[in-house]
């Protein structure tokens, strides 16, 4: 039997240990560097803000129901009729101050989309200014909904002075809220009639404006028309400098109580709810209807943004029919949740016809 012995000299041992130490040190530094990079990336992903916001399904509100202890739409001084079912307005949530991981998580969920933050929070405006603008747009949508609904039902309306261009002929003579009765010898019955009354005039012409301020007697002002130097203005026609707005002229009051909501897209559903409350029967046939759309005083329904998210929330809340502005139909049709019936509406007449079809258990005009 033979044995093999490995004999190491002291110098050989020292050299091996030195190499081993260098390898250990290199591995340690590599490991430490990796840990530091992972921690840094984790902190960056968790806390660093990205220049995006997340758009997703927002709350939905039944305009026929209650908000707290108060009806969303209340009528004082006029008879109202029982309603049933739902007429839900829908919203889009905007999530700001997103971290990298937060943004990726919302995007991966499939319920949210990312959009550049500057689109929703322009750098030249403060968050308070943006919030105020959204609130004003929402308040305007309430007023316009009231006007559109009562006009549709045949109630009288009046024309009021809205914005006045600073330094214009009207500035200092008329005030916002003045009721316009006559201009240049022609009755002012709506916003378009004021424009028509000044057609054919030229800068320097003098015209008479008959108006009423609050409960004071009617007044007549002689105004020399100026020139419209605003971008896109017709400089050949006489310029008064008044924006006319229409308001119902009725002896009762409509109150819409809904806080923390912004934007104009609830106009259509507010309008339908007002009509439902002021007319006998159930406008929607007792069904769960949701929808969206901006509306003007004449009852025209305008397009809005975020309709895929609004449809998702409406379906989850129980809606079976969704009212879609005509210009949003292509987008809505391609992304509608299964089981949600879409009804195309270009104006208030279309919307009420859709309600009529639902009452008869028929399908409304679709997208």
Q: Is residue 300 classed as helix, strand or coil in its secondary structure? A: strand
Which of 277, 310, 313, 315 is labelled catalytic?
310
Q: What are 195's two structure tokens?
A: 């424009």
Per annotation, catalytic residue among 265, 287, 313, 315:
265
Question: Mutual orientation of helices 267-278 and 348-359 as an angle, nearest 10°?
Answer: 60
Residue 2 annotated among the catalytic residues of the structure: no
CA pair distance 216, 219, nearest whole angstrom:
8
Supply the DSSP symbol for 171.
Answer: B
- Determine how many CB atoms are found less than 10 A away from the CB of residue 347: 20
3-state secondary structure of 154: coil
- Kindly provide the residue ranges of all beta strands, DSSP E only, lying in 30-126, ordered along the sequence: 52-62, 66-67, 70-71, 73-76, 86-95, 113-116
What CA–CA distance (Å, rounded) separates 293 from 307? 10
CA–CA dist 79, 278 (Å, integer): 7
Q: What is the largest CA-CA distance in the chain?
A: 133
Could you tell me the two tokens for 123?
């750098």
Residues 145, 149: Cα–Cα separation, whole Å: 6
The sign one gets for the Cα dihedral 311, 304, 245, 195 is negative
């997340």: which residue's tokens?
Answer: 54
Active site residue 333: no
Please give the positions annotated as active site. Answer: 265, 310
């Amino acid at each position: 039997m033979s044995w093999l012995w490995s004999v190491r000299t002291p110098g050989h041992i020292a050299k091996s240990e030195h190499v081993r130490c260098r390898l250990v040190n290199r591995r340690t530094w590599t490991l430490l560097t990796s840990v530091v990079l992972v921690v840094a990336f984790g902190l960056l992903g968790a806390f660093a803000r990205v220049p995006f916001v997340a758009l997703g399904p927002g709350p939905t509100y039944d305009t026929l129901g209650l908000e707290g202890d108060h009806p969303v739409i209340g009528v004082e001084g006029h008879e109202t009729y029982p309603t049933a079912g739902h007429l839900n307005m829908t919203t889009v949530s905007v999530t700001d101050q997103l971290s990298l991981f937060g943004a990726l998580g919302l995007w991966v969920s499939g319920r949210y989309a990312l959009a550049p933050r500057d689109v929703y929070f322009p750098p030249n405006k403060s968050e308070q200014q943006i919030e105020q603008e959204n609130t004003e747009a929402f308040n305007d949508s309430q007023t316009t909904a009231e006007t559109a609904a009562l006009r549709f039902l045949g109630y009288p309306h009046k024309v009021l002075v809205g914005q006045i261009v600073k330094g214009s002929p009207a500035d200092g003579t008329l005030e916002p809220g003045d009721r316009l009765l006559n201009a240049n010898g022609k009755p002012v019955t709506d916003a378009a009639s004021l424009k028509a009354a000044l057609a054919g005039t030229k800068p320097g012409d003098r015209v008479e404006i008959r108006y009423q301020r609050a409960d004071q007697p009617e007044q007549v002002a002689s105004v020399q028309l100026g020139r419209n130097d605003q971008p896109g203005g017709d400089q050949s026609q006489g310029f008064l400098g008044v924006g006319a707005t229409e308001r119902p002229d009725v002896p009762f009051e409509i109150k819409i109580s809904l806080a923390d909501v912004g934007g104009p897209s609830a106009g259509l559903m507010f309008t339908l709810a007002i009509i439902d409350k002021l007319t006998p029967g159930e406008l929607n046939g007792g069904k769960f209807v949701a929808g969206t759309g901006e509306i003007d005083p004449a009852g025209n329904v305008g397009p809005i943004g975020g309709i895929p998210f609004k449809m998702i929330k409406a379906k989850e809340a129980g809606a079976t029919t969704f009212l879609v502005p005509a210009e949003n139909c292509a987008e809505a049709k391609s992304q509608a949740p299964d089981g949600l019936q879409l009804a195309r509406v270009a104006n208030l007449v279309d919307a009420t016809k859709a309600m009529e079809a639902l009452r008869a258990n028929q399908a409304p005009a679709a997208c």
